[in-house]
Amino acid sequence: MNAQSFRIFANRVQAGTELAAAVATHHLATPLVVLGLPRGGVPVAAQVAHRLRAPLDVLVVRKVGMPGQPELAAGAIASGGVIVRNASLPADAVSDVEFARLARRELAELERRERTYRAGLPPLVLRDVNVVLVDDGLATGATMLAAVEAARRGGAQRVMVAVPVASSEAAARMRTAADAAVILLVPPSLGAIGEFYDDFAQLTDGEVLRLLHEPRT
């Protein structure tokens, strides 16, 4: 079954609006912060933050792609030194040495994005805060698992994962890893997240910064 068998989101803003309505039914306690996973998760998270009247921020994560298959996650890294391996892959799919090499390469981009996105923002403090982690979709779920781990290490009181679409495998992982998971679509098979959007254009750092500094009403 493909994406055409399911509802397609016009863009990330529409997906975020629908996701926000579902998240709002959970009546989350304060203090509360909505964290988008850049870049694509930030416009979705902006709609959730607006609906919840909560602060919007980012939690930087990077997928560690398989050698020769960069779109397939061997794992992920996140701010705070978090490293997650993709447990669904065979144990010998990538060696520890090779994974460490690939992770080091992604770390440079993670640190660059940290510097860029946090410019003009206060330090991200999650201790005793309820956190909603938002992305535009989950294929393997590796990056979101890294984000959940980073939020927990940061002392978050409760962690919710909220995404418009996820594979059945990723959805099952989120329901185990997070305290709550809000997922609008879980198709039986998922090739690419972009198949579930009419407009899935890549965002720039400038667009992410604009959303982060946009006044919330």
pTM of the predicted model as reported, rounded to 2 decimal places? 0.90
For residue 184, give its domain range. 3-212
pLDDT in tens, 154-168: 999 999 999 999 999
CATH code for position 33:
3.40.50.2020
In the sheet that 32-36 helps form, which strands lie side by side, from edge to edge?
56-58, 32-36, 130-134, 158-165, 180-185
**Within a domain: residue 25?**
yes
For residues 214 and 182, the answer to whether their CB atoms sit within 8 Å is no
**Within a domain: residue 168?**
yes
**Within a domain: residue 10?**
yes
DSSP-derived letter for residue 187 is -
**Within a domain: residue 217?**
no
CA distance linking residue 61 with residue 78, whole number of Å: 4
pLDDT in tens, 66-92: 888 877 788 889 988 888 888 778 877
pLDDT in tens, 200-210: 999 999 999 99
Q: What are phi and psi of 148, to 5 degrees?
A: -60, -45
Strand duo 32-36 + 82-85: pairing: unpaired
Q: How many domains does the chain have?
A: 1
pLDDT at 1: 42
- Identify the bridge partners of residue 138 per DSSP, sorted by sequence position: 166
Paired tokens of 30: 């304060």
Helix (H, G, I), strand (E, B) or coil at 93: coil
Q: State yes or no: pLDDT of 46 exceeds 60.
A: yes
